[in-house]
Structure 1
Amino acid sequence: MGVSQSPRSAQVIDLDTVRLRQQAQKSLVRLAPELDGLEMVYQLAASPDSYFGMPILAWGLRADGHVVGLVPWMETLTSCQEVDSQENGYFVGYRDPETEEIFESPPDHKYYELTAAADYFEYEASGDVTLIQQIPDTLGTHALCMNHPNAPWHMKPVYGWRLYSDGSIDALLADEEKATMTPILLGDKCLYSARSCHPSVYYFQRHIANRILEEDPATLETLAMMVVPGD
């Protein structure tokens, strides 16, 4: 007689749980400022024969052990590999301006620096979102802040960046009326989290920010097409 076999029980895959797990693995756990002038190289679909360079602000160690370059891009501090827009630009590689070498992976010395620092500090996970680290902004990044769709925008210099235990990053801006010393440094009480006060924030390199402040017509036209106020 044949032996009947019970059908194999089906496994139910919770896609939301899988996505959350994958997202957690990409969360940043440590930052290291870029102080040697390395750049991100990107291209625009409108200029397929041209390459553009953008200074890297910092390097980030992810929970999965990978290291990524980070640049202020659009609405956040973004991994270079996530710059992938035909309209605004897509990542090509990293570049050393001194040697003009273009390479795909972050330099080894940044990996060793980040992993050593992460092992040394080794923050314990907790249920509350806590501040892990803060670094200064060394690129002259500016934040365009909008509080309401029809309200005037404000351009403010970014003084630093904060990394939180949930992997999120936020910029530090200053309330100049509360500043008691110059220059403004990390730890000053006049600094505040950008997201805590401004529903919409866009980040720009220093030379672009200056064109906006000078009301350069071409720059303002591009800005109007790129920054669309929410409803």
Structure 2
Amino acid sequence: MGIPMSPRSAQVIDLETMRNRLRAKRHLVRLAPELDGLEMVYHLASDLDTLYGMPLLAWGLRDDGEVVGLVPWMEALTPCHDLDDPEHGHFVGYRDPETEEIFYTAPEHKVYELEHAAAYFDYEESGETTLLQQLPETLGTHALCLDEEATTWQLKLVFGWRLYNNGTIEALLVDESRVESTPVVAGDDCLYPGHSRHQVVYFFQRAIANRIRQEDPATLEALACMVGHDD
């Protein structure tokens, strides 16, 4: 028989508080660009035998110490391990195109880089949302933006990415009407976080963005289906 618990030993567990604590431990605290061409490998539920590759934009250090690869995916700069969608893709691993090796965890040199950088830039916790880091965009990623009251989309080149102390990552876009000098550089007043102005922001690789610009029928049809599904 079990030992009955006294009223004093009973504990009330706030599940929502526990969830928030777990989420906080998994939020990103530092980024490092991927400059050696490493890729994310994924497959689709409709074709499990075919593997697809996508270049990594960066690596991110989570508050719990885990290091994850990051790719512009759908509406966010997304940790590869979070890709588990039967329709859009399931994460398989990382790949080094030079050696064709596939591996599941971040390479040691990126882990060391991020850990040392996070220790050096040891920011104090603040109740206010503050900018921690700005990362350049190196893949030619584009954002398809829809304003709240508009009925047409805007296709814009992503300039860079901003990491905030709450773990949020925002894409930096250019307001062409405010460009005073070129090339645009970090800190220019014409740059703005995508979701500060647009209700919806979808990210596309450069090749797909070019097909949208060229009004490729198949690409536009797929885009229309995606937008309709989102609505």
Normalization by structure 2: what TM-score?
A: 0.94
Pair 7,16 (structure 1): closer, same or farther in 2 beyond 3 Å: closer
Moved over 3 A (4+): 4-9, 228-231
Q: How many residues align?
A: 228
For the structure 1 residues 7 and 208, does the alpha-carbon distance in structure 2 shift closer, same or farther, using more than 3 Å as the test? same
RMSD (Å), alpha carbons: 1.7
Q: How does 1:126-137 map to 2 (within 5 A)?
A: 126-137=126-137
1:163 aligns to what?
163
Q: Distance in 2 between matches of 1:213 and 1:5?
A: 68
* 1:71-114 superposed Cα distances (whole Å, 9 cap, x missing partner): 00000000000011110001000000000000000100000000
SS at match of 1:222: helix
Residues in 2 aligned to 1:203 and 1:59: alpha-carbon distance in whole angstroms: 18
CA distance in 1, matches of 2:41, 2:201: 24
Check 1:9–1:38 CA distance in 2 against 1; reply closer, same or farther (3 A cut). Answer: same
Q: Which amino acid aligns with 1:24?
A: A
Structure 1 residues 11 and 212 mapped into 2: Cα distance closer, same or farther (>3 Å)?
A: same
Paired AA for residue 80 in structure 2: C
**Per-residue deviation, residues 108-159 of structure 1 (Å, max 9, x unmatched):** 0000000100111101101101000001100000000001376100000000
Alignment partners' CA distance in 1, 2:118 and 2:136: 19
Cα 1:230–1:85 change in 2 (3 A) is closer
The percent identity for this pair of structures is 63
CA distance in 1, matches of 2:108, 2:41: 18
Aligned partner of residue 228 in structure 2, secondary structure: coil
Give 5+ residue unaligned stretches, structure 2. Answer: none
The aligned amino acid for 1:49 is: D
Alpha-carbon shift at residue 223 of structure 1 (Å): 1.3
User: Which residue matches 1:115?
Assistant: 115
Deviations 1:179-209 (A, max 9, x none): 1222222222211110100010000000011
Deviation (angstroms), 1:45: 1.1
Could you tell me which amino acid in structure 2 is paired with residue 217 of structure 1?
P
Structure 1 residue aligned with 2:79: 79
User: Pairwise mapping of residues 45-194 of structure 1 onto structure 2 (< 5 A)?
Assistant: 45-148=45-148, 151-194=151-194
Gaps of 5+ in 1: none
Aligned partners of 1:21 and 1:6: how far apart in 2?
A: 28
The residue type equivalent to 2:219 in the other structure is T
User: 2:11 matched to which residue of 1?
Assistant: 11
Aligned partners of 1:153 and 1:106: how far apart in 2?
A: 36
Give the whole-Å Cα distance in 2 for the aligned partners of 1:13 and 1:129.
Answer: 28
Closer, same or farther: CA 57–122 of 1 in aligned 2, 3 Å: same
SS in 2 for 1:92: strand
